[in-house]
Homo-oligomer: A and B are copies of this chain.
Amino acid sequence: MPFNIAILGASGYTGAELVRLIATHPEMTIKALSADRKAGMQMAEVFPFLRHLDLPTLQKIDEIDFAGIDLCFCALPHATTQQVISALPRNLKIVDLSADFRLRDAAAYEKWYGQPHAAMDLQAEAVYGLTEFYRAEIAQARLVAGTGCNAATGQFALRPLVAAGVIDLDDIIIDLKAGVSGAGRSLKENLLHAELSGGTHAYSAGGKHRHLGEFDQEFSKIAGRPVQVQFTPHLLPMNRGILATVYVKGDPSAVHETLASAYKDEPFLQVLPFGQLPSTRDIAGSNFCHLGVVGDRRANRAIVVAVLDNLTKGSSGQAIQNANLMLGLPETTGLMLAPLFP
C-alpha cells in the first residue's frame, strides 16, 4: 500500500514539481496539499498542467489532519518554515525544501539569513539532504533539510576532490549559470519575460550569495579546515537548469578519475568521458546530474562542469530521493523519468 504524503506550500514551483513527480511514483499517494493564500482552490486552478490528476483541495496548514500522513514535504518560504515545522507532530517524517535547516551552526545561519534561528532543537536532529553523501543518516532521519540547488551543483563537482586532496583548497572558483525557476514564482521586475529573455547578468557576486553558507560548512567539514570558495551566479534566459563551471588547481586526470571513481555506482550522477562537457538541455526535468572534466592548456589546472535541473535534482527530485530512503523504498523509485529534450 502506498505511503500517504502531505505537501505544504503546493502553490510554488517546488511544490508543483513534487506533485508532478509523485503523479507517477508507485509508492506515494498525495493525501493533503496546503497553500495558505489559495486554500479552497483546486490545484488545476493554480497549475492547469496538473489538471489530469485527482488531487486533494488546497487547505491551510492548520486544517490538515496529519493523523494518517506518513511523510510531509515542506516547500515553504525561508524563515517561516522553522515555525511551521516546530508546530507539526513530532513523529511525522519531514523533508524540508527551504533553507531553514541546512546550516548546522546557529551563527552561520544568522549571518547568511539575517535573523536568529528559531528552532535550534529541530536543527539538532536535521540531516543535510545531499543524498549521495548522507545516505545512512537520511535513512534514519526524521527531518531532512534539502540543499540549495546551486549548493548541490557545486558540491557534486567538488566534494570528492576536496576529500581526496587532489586540488588546491584555497583557489576554487565556481562560476554558475542558473535558469529562472530557481527564483520561484515571485513577482519581481527582473523575472519578467521582457526583462530576462535574450540576455544575461551576474548577481550576488563577490561572496554575497546565501548558498555560500552551505559550501563553507560542507567543504570545511570534509577538509577538516576552513575552505572558502569564490562563487558567482548568473541568471540565464532559460527556465530550468544549472551549469556550474568550476575552476580548480590540480591534475586534470586525477580530478576526472576521482570523480569517476566516486560516482561509478551512483544511479543519478553521470561522469562523462574525460574531455567531454555536459549541457543543461540533457538533464531537464530529470533527477540526473552530468559532470565533465577538461584540462587547461596551463599545467595543473582543471575545469569541472556540472549540470542538473534545479527543480528536480536540485530540490524536489532530491527531496523524493531522500523520502524514498526515509520510507525504506529503493532510492530511485519514481525518479527514473528521462529528461525532456528538445
Chain A interface residue bracket vs B: 35 or more
Which of the listed residues A177, A243, A290 has the most CB atoms from chain B within 10 Å of its own CB? A177
Contacts of A191 in B (CB 8 A): 192-194
CB of A281 within 8 A of CB of B205, answer: no
Judged by a CB distance under 8 angstroms, whether A59 is at the interface is: no
Please indicate the chain B residues that have their CB under 8 angstroms from the CB of A4 in the complex: none
Query: Which listed residue, B177, B283, B296, B342, touches A230 by the CB 8 Å rule?
Result: B296
A192 touching B192, Cβ below 8 Å:
yes
Cross-chain contact of A185 among B13, B177, B189 (Cβ < 8 A): B189
Judge if A279 is at the interface, Cβ distance under 8 Å.
Answer: yes
Q: A52 at the A/B interface (Cβ < 8 Å)?
A: yes
Of A42-50, A60-68, A70-78, which binds chain B?
A42-50
**Chain B CB within 10 A, most for which of A53, A191, A240, A282:** A282
Is A237 interfacial (CB 8 A cutoff)? yes
Give the residues from 194 to 220 in chain A that come closer than 8 angstroms, CB to CB, to chain B: 194-203, 205-208, 212
Is A29 engaged at the interface, CB distance under 8 Å to the other chain?
Answer: no
Q: Are B49 and A339 in contact (CB under 8 A)?
A: yes
Q: Using Cβ atoms and an 8 Å threshold, which residues of chain B touch A104?
A: none
**Chain A positions 295 through 338: 1 when the CB is less than 8 Å from some CB of chain B, otherwise 0:** 11110010101010000000000000000000000000000111
> Within the oligomer, what is the number of copies of this chain?
4
Q: How far is the CB of A23 from chain B (nearest CB, A)?
A: 4
Interface membership of A51, Cβ < 8 A: yes
Say whether A337 contacts B24, CB under 8 Å.
yes
Q: A198 contacts B201, CB within 8 Å? A: no
Give 19 A-B contacts (CB < 8 Å), ordered by A residue.
A47-B341, A48-B290, A49-B286, A52-B267, A171-B171, A175-B245, A185-B189, A185-B192, A185-B195, A193-B239, A198-B238, A198-B284, A200-B241, A200-B280, A201-B243, A205-B305, A207-B297, A239-B342, A240-B342
Write the residues of chain A forming the contact surface with B, with a CB cutoff of 8 angstroms: 13, 16, 19-20, 23-24, 47-53, 171, 173, 175, 177, 180-181, 185, 187-189, 191-203, 205-208, 212, 228, 230, 232, 234, 236-241, 243, 245, 247, 267, 270, 277-286, 288, 290, 294-298, 301, 303, 305, 307, 336-342
Lowest 8 A-B CB distances belong to which pairs? A207-B297, A199-B281, A201-B279, A49-B282, A187-B187, A194-B342, A206-B294, A49-B341
